A and B are shown apart, each in its own frame.
Chain A
Amino acid sequence: MLVVGVKMQQITNTNYENLPKIGYYSSNERRREDFYKEEPHIHKQGPLSGVKAGAHKLYNDILVYFPKGFSGSKNSDFYEYLSLGMVPYAIGSAMLIALYSGANSKFNRGDAFEAGKVAKCFGSGVVLYAAGKWLSKKLSRTLIHASTGVNLDMLYMNKVNELPEKGQDKGLVRVQYPGVFSSVDFYRKDLIDADSELNHDNDIYYYWDKVAKKAGYKDKQNASNQLMDDKIRKLDARAIALENINKYVAAALGVALGSQKAFSEIKLTHPSTILTALKKGAKQLWKGTDKNVFTKHAGKALAIGALVTTLIDWIVPTIGYKTNPNTMKSKVDAKKEYEVG
């Protein structure tokens, strides 16, 4: 009855723009609330979103995904399997450090001291390997984001409805944090649409218009979602292909840096020594040793290589993505009237 009342009021009001919305979802807030409760959606992205998702994965790896995997659950899925891939990385890194320092207590004092130095270099190398990998990827993706408006790191909150396990009446709903653009084949444009619709006054083209403008289209395009779809797919594929190489070049740079003498002087009880080692180590890496031409310049070559490949990872996808506005003109003039025969 209340709904009818509202409807009656609406008819008498002539200012259509200010009319309240009709129906159950009379406001977008409520609609969004319900949608967010039940459906996968793009949540608010912050600088720490990636870290949070990583922590969520690691936490669930140990408490949920491993138990599910070991019990052979039907509900175990590909996301969980991929998330488990973090575990060998973490354990492997710790194991590598342990292999170099774990037996030190059994060595005599001099050997333990020498082995400790090597272990410190090695440990730094392992940590810097991961850091280099992460930084290179982050840098190129940030540059791509800045120049195209497409955040390839965008995550969404997935809601997975599980089948009931034995002893359960109803399957659980689990939360996952996959990337919107993780898959080139099936990137979640539906979620982008939904996000635009719910957060930008029902304008499902909001996101697409925004990125189309950044891509070089001056005018508002008809069906910008279809126009940008192929471009974004290519951007994504190129970026992933290139970063799969350059992040390892940067990782190699990390190991090279960690192998410098400066890192053997780190004292774990004094965190400031790490900073000193980073500064000194970078200098040592850049200078090289005078043994031969290779040892003199290898560090420089690696550092420049890592930077160049990272920049290529930004430049190549962006060049392929951007459109020169002068060459692209809409064949259909939106202001003109056409007769459709």
Chain B
Amino acid sequence: MVLISPILQNSLNNNSQNASLNSSDRHEKFYEDLAKKPHKIKPNEPKAKLIKQGPIKGMSSSVKDTAKDGANFFKAAKTGKMNDNSLGRINDLGMKIGGLLIACFLALKSKTKTAAIMEFIGAGSFFASMALWPKIFINLPSKLIHGVDPGQRYISAQGDKKDFYLDNQFLVWDATDIKDEKEQRRHQKTALQNRTLWMATAGFSTPLMTSLFCNFIRPKVENGVIEHGIKTAEKNLAGEKTTFQKVSSKTKEVSSKIKGFFITPKPAKDYNEDLIENLFNSYKNKELDKKFFEELADYMSLKDMSKEFTSIDDTAPIKTFSEKNLPDVLEQYFKQNTPVNKDSLKEALKGMGIKKLQGLKTLSDKEIDDLIASLGENLSLENVERKLKEINIPSSEIKSRLNNVELDYTSFFDNIRTYNKETVTPFKDNVRTFIKNINPIVGARTESAYTRTYSDTLNNLIKNPAFGENGKTLKKDLLRRDKYLGNEVSLKDKIKNRVFSLFKKQEKSSVKSSAKGNDYEAISLRKFFEGVVKDVEFGSKEYKELISDLSKPIERMPDRELIDRISDENTIRNLRPDSAYSELDEVFFGKEHYSSIQKNIHNFIINQETDKEAIVSRPIICTNFEARLKEGLIKVNGKDIREWPEALSAARKLVYEGSRNTIENYALTARGVGDDILFADLCDVIFDKNAFKNEPEIVQNNVSKLHEYTKLFVEQIADSDKPIPVKNATKLNLMNADHKHFTCCDISDLMKAHAIKMTNNRAWLKIFGSMGIALAAVTLLVQPFFGNIKNEYPDENTKGGKK
């Protein structure tokens, strides 16, 4: 057999003239023809084909290809036979597996469901961005501008899918219709330039696109998680709704009833049966006394259960009891519900006598049987006792006799155990699920309906058209960290510096020598203000000058009109959030829930304003206080507080610290004084309107507001049943157990967290969003300059005409 090169073989087979000839003749004829016309021999038809498919088909085929990569991996590991292209593709598969592993691991570490879901979305969108960036910002514009697709793919003769322009020096033009050399060069050049652009931009674009997309999608995912949580909670609680309503009609404060669930969410304990067994054994042949029932209650974890349940549920086996009467209630229940053992009862009744005139007559066997039969099914101790009394057996004898009777107490426990298992535990679980989904204290703060309601409300506030043009200022102010919602460090610093420079200028204080440069903190505030007023008489001309100097920073306060507008009732009404989350929240929070949110926001803004005013006013209030104190003008119940250290230190706390967290500070201060009434009097003197006549209006306003707050607070302390509007309910709980009131969450914390999140997002978006836009713009703008081949064919341009 003669070996013929594949090219010749092709020519041989394709020659139809020779088809009729046999093999050897065909060869002869072939070589004859070859000798005659060698130019007629042609290479094989190209097998390579361009892939032309839309984006949807492209996606489905990329899924198929990934599956094929997986199969190729095992084939390569098994046989060791695989070409470079397929091996290279396994790398992409590995990258995806690695990405998935990372997402899984980080999702496990995530604290919230949203964060966990976002890990997977993040990994997915990272790979999507990697694929989409060149498609949208490079290939598509290139197709539109130059008619060249740098991402064009083809199937090679070996069946591999490859990028057509992968290797700049190996382009399979045979697979295309492009025959003109110049055109080929133009395609080659454009594609190379675009692919280089891709390499230059991919490093920026992939992380940017991913994080921008994730930032966009995250709130939606969070909403989804919240919705799902609420639905689950509602579904779980559908059966419990009536119970809740029952509770709410029974007691005024539902919240206090269920507070146990989120303060100490303990699962219902099972009974310690061994201990109970021992207890019963130790009481064999003994009277069941109070101690027995105390211990029994303890071993049955009844205390734990009773607190929340006996008053909620009418069907509870043991009815309402307090901790004090628990043993009595238990004893009663025990007697009513614990059957006696028939045989041992029989045994006990033998020899038991009825006193008759003719002497003691013991019960006969028949009488005993009749007696037991008459008891019927109700073999409880109580019933037996009653029956025996009926036939005149003395109670002292009954007691001692019945103590020898074996009690069939298993059914008693079964009753309670079943109830606990079937009712108590699921109910607790359901309540916990519900609370978790609507209340931010137990659940993750960011994933509760309550939190979302606040964020919705704040969004509404910002978007509210009622603010008109001022809305913009408000938005700006709300989101500026040094104004309403963030720390007031910069403002504080300004004022401190101002006061300090004033202090230096006046050169009146003895503490001056101890101050170095601007080291304001080095001087104690008290000493400083004492120094400032040392030689100044309260109300004198000098005092007025001092105050007017200190008032200068106040002139730069933002306009108050805005705050007044927010305080408007109509505006507040418009703040109602769009997303109503659950009808069950009415049971928990009452119908006024939404309006309370609006009110909270209103209060929050006012508080912020007050706090800011307080910061500005503080130096003046301190000066005023020290000036009056020096002259003995601050008296409580006619007593100068300089001679009363506790009151003096409380007063100073009020004056020097009562600013940012006004109410909370006052709460602490008030407790420090120890006497609420005296504390109220003290506030009346310190924030006396009449003492601030020389001060600017804003300080007067602030003083009256502070006065109002302190009064309010003192009232609330006195009436300890009312929830205290404090910053952080849990903090206070630790401080004083009497004030464990159900306050959902701290409004200012939520608002602040949300506003700061918005500010941060904006700051982030401003940097990276604009970076993304700039990147996209540059990528698009350079592309028209690509594919210029004029200078590579200079002859044509100078001589004109094509060759």
Contact = CB atoms under 8 A, between A and B. Distances in A.
Interface of A: 66, 69-74, 76-78, 81, 84-85, 87-92, 94-96, 99, 102-103, 106-109, 111, 115, 166, 183-186, 233-235, 237-238, 240-242, 244-249, 251-252, 255-256, 259, 289, 294-295, 298-299, 302, 316-317, 320
Interface in B206-229: 206-208, 211
A59 to B, nearest CB: 16
A249 B768 CA distance: 30
Secondary structure dominating the interface of A: helix
Interface string B779-791: 0000000110001
B602 interface: no
A39 to B, nearest CB: 19
Nearest to B794: A166
Contacts of B487: 108-109
7 contacts: A238-B77, A248-B94, A248-B98, A249-B98, A251-B102, A252-B105, A256-B106
B73 A241 contact: yes
A4 B792 CA distance: 53
B169 A72 contact: no
Contacts of B101: 248-249, 252, 302
A248 B95 contact: yes
Nearest to B168: A76
Contacts of A91: 202-204
Interface string B759-803: 110011011100000000000000000110001100000000000
A166 B792 CA distance: 8
B77 A184 contact: no
Contacts of A96: 207
Interface in B295-317: none
Interface stretch (B191-199, B284-292, B331-339, B677-685): B191-199
Interface string B47-90: 00000000000000000000000001100110111111001001
Contacts of B767: 102-103, 106
Nearest to A248: B98
A237 B94 contact: no
A78 B204 contact: no
Contacts of A251: 98, 102
B207 A95 contact: yes
Nearest to B782: A70
B167 A183 contact: no
B109 interface: yes
Secondary structure dominating the interface of B: helix
A157 to B, nearest CB: 19
B87 A237 contact: yes
A70 B193 contact: yes
Contacts of B195: 69, 81
A96 B122 CA distance: 12
A209 B655 CA distance: 93
Given A78-B169, A246-B94, 12 more contacts: A74-B168, A81-B166, A81-B199, A102-B768, A111-B760, A233-B80, A237-B87, A241-B90, A244-B73, A251-B98, A252-B102, A320-B80
A82 to B, nearest CB: 10
A76 B192 contact: yes
A38 to B, nearest CB: 21
A107 B519 CA distance: 26
B372 interface: no
B548 interface: no
Given A103-B763, A184-B83, A249-B98, A108 B190 contact: no
A244 to B, nearest CB: 4
B756 A108 contact: yes
B77 A242 contact: yes
Contacts of B787: 72
B200 interface: yes
Nearest to A105: B763
A133 to B, nearest CB: 8
B105 A256 contact: yes
B31 to A, nearest CB: 33
Interface string B145-189: 000000000000000000000111110000000000000000011
B169 A244 contact: no
B325 interface: no
Given A70-B196, A95-B207, A166-B792, A108 B486 contact: yes
A106 B791 CA distance: 49
B199 A84 contact: yes
Contacts of B371: none
B77 A244 contact: no
B169 A237 contact: no
Contacts of A233: 80
Nearest to A320: B80
B108 interface: yes
A69 B202 contact: no
B582 interface: no
A142 to B, nearest CB: 20
A84 B199 CA distance: 6
A81 to B, nearest CB: 7
A89 B791 CA distance: 34
